[in-house]
Structures are given as structure tokens and as C-alpha cells.
Chain A
Amino acid sequence: MTAIKFGASTFIWTSPFSNDTLDLIDKVAGAGFDLIEICVEDPATINTKAINKRLLHTGIGALVCGAFGPDRDVSSDDPSIRANGIDYINICSDIAAELGAPAVAGPMYSATGKTAAVSAEKRAEQWKWASENLAFSADHAATQHVSLAIEPLNRFETDLINTVDQGMELVRRIGRDNVGLLLDTFHMNIEEHSIPNAIRRAAGKIFHFHSCANDRGIPGKDHLPWPEIVNSLSDAGYTGPWVIEAFNPEIKEIAKAVSLWRPLAVNQDAIAYDGLKLMKSVTSDAITGDKII
């Protein structure tokens, strides 16, 4: 079994990522991560040349995730917003390709925070728009040799795709080989009957994984069943990265976007550093045990 690659999301410390925060790449590399997940909140602030220079210098790789506000909604009622959503995902794919990232990840089927109860007809229409439009984006991504990793979110953040089963159905309807799922344990803890079983049901389509604590604090210092999660990912044949995603409560806009009202560790570094240590420990324990190899 190849060693797991661990990553840290730029959201742990900053928002939006830009030329002013390039030092995060050195920080993440210095902490022992293999990868940095860069969130493209505003493509205009992403300088791929400058980022690549740092990546080369530090020897770590990049991953790309998108941020889906109300103006980037591929299942919106408004055709111009749907078009803007497709354009944005396509730009993210171009950025991913330039950074050597394998995928664009995120809840790209809707606007995060859209949770209105809608009629069955409207819901069916949203599914149709999401499936069709993400197929367009998938085709563009394929030209860049990039995949799309679609993230189900919990009920308080979206009304469209909350569970792995819904995510798998969306992937099926999009019908493109380069489309799979990003599974995030924070959301799964709220929505799945069993996190490990849900992971197994996504076998073959898990393109990316966020190892987050149940409260988005330090993963491993929480109540999630990490050994079983490791085993289920192994059963599902997942060999991709493990990325810690958390958010900085000091940055008002992002705190509001993810409803984070209190610090979840002594500081943001602790979430990354202690989290990395604990995630390395749970994965190596499971891997050296009898159950896996």
C-alpha cells in the first residue's frame, strides 16, 4: 500500500487565498503536509505562476477546491447565474491544470447556503440543471485532464445533495468518467446512517477526501470512528489524499458562511498540526494492523 498523502486546506488560516498568503505554502510544507488545498474564492487573486514557484521550492503539491456563492449556481433559476457557475468551474479546472492538481473539488451543484424547501417539480428541475451543466463542466475539465469531485453538504448548507447516495445519483446522471465525489466527514457525521458504510457505497467514485472533526476542530480529537473510516476507505479502494479542512473564526465573512462562532482549538495551527499527527497515527495503526494489508 502506498503511503497516504496528507493535505491542509488554506481555509484553516485564510480567505481568500492570494499572492499575499503565498507563505502558507511554506507553512503547510514545513508542518509536514504533502499537499496544500487552495480554495479559489476569486480566480483573479490566484497567481498560478507564483504558486507553482513556491510549490517547486517546497516540494509539496496542490489541490484545488471551489467556493460556490449565490452568483455561481449551476442549478439557479436564473440562466445567467447558471452560465456563470459553469464558467467558474471551468476556470477552476484551468487553474487546477496549471497547478498540476488532479481535480476541482467542492459543492458545485448549487449555491452553498441555499436551503429553501421547494416543490418536487422545482427539485426535479434543479437536478436536471445540475446534471446537465456539470456535464458541460466535466467535458471542459477532461480537456485539461482534470476531474470534478462533488461534495455533499449537510442539510443546513444545501437542500440539494446531502448524502453519499444522492451524490452517487448525481454522478450517475452527469454520466462522465471524470466525475466523482469529495467526501467530508463533518457533513457525513450529520447526514449518514453509518459513515463507514456510506464510504463503501461510494467505492470507485471517491475522488477526494476531507478528514474533518465532528465539530471541525482537531480531527482525531473528536468522536468520529476513525479506525473504521480508515478501513472503509481501504475497502472502497481509495488511495487519494486526506485533507484537513477547517475555517478561521477570526475572518468574519468565512465564519458567517460556515456558521462558525467560536474557536475550536487553541489556535488554527493546532487544528492542522495536531490533526496531521492524529490522522497519521490512525491511518498507520490501521494499516499495520491485521485488518488491512
Chain B
Amino acid sequence: MFKYSYDALVYADEPIEKSIRRVAKFGYDAIELVGEPDQHDTAEVRRLCKNNGISVSSICSIFFGPERDLVALDPEMRKKAVGYAKSVVDFAAETGAPTINLAPSPVGKLVAVGDKQQEWDLALESLGEIADYAEKAGIRTCLEPWNRYETYFINSLDQALDLAKAVGHNNLGVMGDSFHMNIEDVDIAGNYRKAGDQLFHVHFADSQRAAPGAGHIDFAPSIQALIDIDYKGYIAFELLPAAADPFATLKSGRGDEFLDHYTRMAIETIKTVEAEVRR
């Protein structure tokens, strides 16, 4: 059976203890932590995970804002962004998370500042440096494509694979999030298959970004593809409210269904699909 994780991103500002208890209660193997090292006490996270019998699957890096832009033209800003990614690597190492995700350019940046080639070259440089650093720490890194409304840089898994290939570092793979792929990729399962052993991490969410089962994605072919490529990573559920800015929705106090209800529904739905596929 695959290992399952739930991304604490949607739990917003709740105490980490509550989040860890919740995912443990619903049968998860792990939790995915938000990539804000300053907001976590890693010793406490380790203790809480141990007490609740779960691991940290991954760190969800938060590439947001000009200081976290790996292709920033200003070398100082770029250095800050690379420094941020390295701090996430350290955070992963301290919490026992094997994998972190990377995005070349921050969410919400929809226009290139430099020309395409220049930014591409800067991406290769920054990503190579982070992948090197992470390798020494024993952490794997993977590129996450986001849909067209969140970034101009890489939207489809094909583009992520191209970028990873151009960096050419064995410690840099890709990850595929089914919510983004439902918009950008014409064959979700086929693209997981195509990524093969370069697929380091997976995010599942249904078509409208709620728990699998709430939308129309048929996850069976994707599960079959993950089995066929001998995927050893986690299936992590990254769910978010239906809004251009889901965090504003969460801040306004809406989104209760993402707590117990979707946490339970996501793992139940996909474990059922997995059992059927494996039968």
C-alpha cells in the first residue's frame, strides 16, 4: 500500500499539535508541513509526531513574494530565495522529511521580469545549487508545476520534466499535483507514468481542489500508473478552498470542511481506490 500524508497548509493557523493529532486519528502515515521554518519548533514537531505514531512526509515550500523568487534578476534577491530554499532543506532534515518541493518563481508572479532565456538560465543555476545542498543533507527536491493562474514559469508536468532535465541533477525530480494537472495536462495518469522514477512526490486533490471523491477526477488510472512506475513516495493531499486566494477564505473563518471532514474523506476515498486497483 502507498503511504499517505495530508498537507497542513489548509489547517492555516491552528496549533501544529492539533494538526498532527488529526492526521494520526484518520490513519495517515505522515503530515506535510508548511515550509515556514521560523514558525515551527522542530524538536516539538518530532516529539508530537513520535507520540502520535506518524512521520513528516515532506515540506511544502512556500514560494510567495519577491524574496522567494529563484529567478529574480537582482542577485541579492535571488540569494535570499536560494537561502530560503536551503532553510527549508534544513527544516526537512530536522523533522525527518525526505522530500521538499521547489518552484522556480513565486506563486502569483505572472509576468517574466527578464527575458525567457535569462530567467531559464537563472532557474538552472538556483535549482542546481539547492539540489546540491539538499543532496548533502540527504533531502530530495522536486519541481512543482502550478496551473496558469498561479505562475507563468512551469504549468504542466512536461515543462517540469524539461526543466529538471536541463538542470540535470539526480537530486532534482518533479512532483505532480492532480488539481493543477486537471487544468494543464491532457493525460494525468499518462504524465505520472512519463515522469517515472523522476516522480519524487505526489499531491492529490480533486478537480475543484476538495477531497478526492468531491469532484470528477478518476484516480484509479493515476493509482495504477504509480503502481506501475513503482512509486515509493507519499501520496499527500493538498486541498484548498475554491477561490483565487484560498488563504483569504481560510482567514475569514470559512473552510471548516477541510478539517475533519476532508481529512477523513481524502484518505478513505483513495485507499478504497487503491484497494480496488490492487485487487
Contacts and interface: CB of A to CB of B under 8 A. Distances in A.
A275 to B, nearest CB: 13
A193 B148 contact: no
Nearest to B187: A223
Interface string B145-163: 0011100110110010000
A45 interface: no
A129 B24 CA distance: 47
Interface in A232-275: 256, 259-262
20 contacts: A155-B242, A155-B243, A156-B149, A157-B149, A162-B242, A190-B183, A193-B216, A195-B216, A213-B186, A215-B156, A215-B185, A222-B186, A259-B110, A259-B152, A260-B148, A261-B152, A261-B153, A261-B155, A262-B155, A262-B159
B214 A256 contact: no
B78 to A, nearest CB: 21
A215 B149 contact: no
A190 B242 CA distance: 10
A189 B186 CA distance: 12
Contacts of A193: 208, 214-216
A256 B188 contact: no
Contacts of A262: 155-156, 159
A214 B244 CA distance: 18
Interface residues of B, number: 29
Contacts of A223: 182, 185-188
Interface in A268-284: none
B111 A155 contact: no
A14 B133 CA distance: 47
Interface stretch (B68-76, B94-102, B136-144, B245-253): B245-253
Contact of A115 (B185, B215, B245): B245
A115 to B, nearest CB: 4
A261 B252 CA distance: 32
B61 interface: no
B170 to A, nearest CB: 27
B184 interface: yes
Contact of B244 (A156, A194, A217): A156
Contacts of A221: 186
B207 interface: yes
B148 A117 contact: no
Interface string A93-135: 0000000000000000000000111000000000000000000
Interface string B187-199: 1100000000000
Which of the listed residues B184, B188, B207, B214 has the most CB atoms from chain A within 10 Å of its own CB? B207
A261 B159 CA distance: 11
B240 to A, nearest CB: 10
Contacts of B242: 155, 162, 191
Given A115-B244, A189-B182, A222-B186, 20 more contacts: A115-B243, A116-B245, A117-B243, A117-B249, A117-B252, A155-B243, A155-B244, A159-B243, A189-B183, A190-B182, A193-B208, A193-B214, A195-B216, A213-B186, A217-B186, A223-B187, A259-B149, A261-B155, A262-B155, A262-B159
Contacts of A191: 208, 242
Interface in B214-245: 214-216, 242-245
A191 B208 CA distance: 5
Contacts of B243: 115, 117, 155, 159
B184 to A, nearest CB: 6
Contacts of A190: 182-183, 207-208
Contacts of A261: 148, 152-153, 155
A41 interface: no
Contacts of A256: 110-111
A222 B183 CA distance: 10
Closest 7 A/B residue pairs (Cβ): A156-B149, A115-B244, A117-B248, A259-B148, A261-B152, A222-B186, A259-B149
Contacts of B215: 193
A259 B252 CA distance: 27
Contacts of A192: 207-208, 216
Interface string A154-186: 011101001000000000000000000000000
A204 B156 CA distance: 37
Which of the listed residues A156, A256, A259, A261 has the most CB atoms from chain B within 10 Å of its own CB? A261
A223 B183 CA distance: 10
A261 B183 CA distance: 13
B248 to A, nearest CB: 4
A262 B158 CA distance: 12
A197 B136 CA distance: 52
Nearest to B254: A117
Interface in B172-189: 182-188
Given A191-B208, A260-B148, A262-B159, A159 B244 contact: yes
A156 B152 CA distance: 14
Contacts of A259: 110, 148-149, 152
Contacts of B153: 261
Contacts of B184: 215
Nearest to B179: A190
